[in-house]
Amino acid sequence: MKVAIVGCGGIGRAHALAYGQLDGVELAYVVDRDPGRAEALAAEVGAEPLTDLGLLTDAVRIVSVTTDPASHGPLATECLRRGFAVFCEKPLGMTAAEARGLVELAREVKQPLSVGFKMRYEPIFTKARELVGEVGSIVQIATTKVQPFAHRGPAEWRDKVGAMFELSVHDFDLISFVTGLWPMKVQAATLSHRLDWEREDGFTALVEYEGGAQGALSGCYTLESKWLASDFCLTVTGEKGCMRVLRGDRIVMHTDTYEAVEVEAPGNTFVTELGEFVEAVQDGKEPPIEPEAGYWSTALIDGIWEAGLGGKAVEISRI
């Protein structure tokens, strides 16, 4: 199966190396507007470099979209209309309407579409999904995301994307992945602009989930901390107790007993998620990460942004 990658930055390289570990997959093309970046990655992985997406041949079956977030929607749209299966890195779109449009287009052209929520494949979150039923009916959800700004490196697009679309889009997906609940309403939100960005560098939001569960979600960039991989905490409280998921560390269960559950370190989650997508395309099955998940996380970000600017509650439309 021939595949191509559009976007030859760090994430594009991660996809390229992951495809190289999959049996029956040939990375045929890497595409980037910057010829130097395309040629450098092509030389590393043995692909043909291109600077124009339109030059991809019909022999390609899958395209990975790994460009900056604002370009995901237009590029994924072009690829779906060309008849390619599309694996789009997060976020699926920069607005709920854009993400919804991609989901509907994939259905219309009958092509597989998935979104890069690789953290679902980390053992700590798959284990949390298994254990969450022990807390009983869920009444509260809380998250904290802390990301060192210096660790991220320079990116001309970051101030236009913000902390939620770059970082916490993963967190929002994990809440629903672990609990099975989708967000219904953003009741209130505040946005931080410490860095004078066009978008937020931090946020705090109160969110109502299905069944009336109340969520308190927060995240921000920090200026003086270090990247130590333990950047996210998810706490789920139910009528029988609570579960606290500490990424990179452990799960703490506090029900009628108290237990710290140690979880193995994740492997290469790019290999796992892309491998499962390739298998689904080969077998004509639905992608393991459904494109609707990309809609929900983007719609929640839309709602938090709108509530933070307007000071009013925002309903989230179902897809």
Q: What are the tens digits of pLDDT across the range 104-119?
A: 999 999 999 999 999 9
Q: What is d(CA 36, CA 51) in angstroms, rounded to the nearest whole number? A: 10
Hey, is 57 helix, strand or coil? Answer: coil
DSSP symbols for 17-54: HHHTTSTT-EEEEEE-SSHHHHHHHHHHHT-EEES-GG
Q: Which candidate, 64, 9, 14, 6, places its Cα nearest to that of 31?
A: 6
The pLDDT tens digits for 204-254 are: 999 999 999 999 999 998 888 888 888 999 999 999 999 999 998 899 999
Rg (CA), the chain: 20
Determine contact, residues 213/141, Cβ cutoff 8 Å: yes
pTM exceeds cut of 0.85: yes
Min mean pLDDT across 20-24, 77-81, 159-163, 258-262 is at 159-163
Whether the bond between 91 and the residue before it is cis, its omega within 30 degrees of 0, is yes
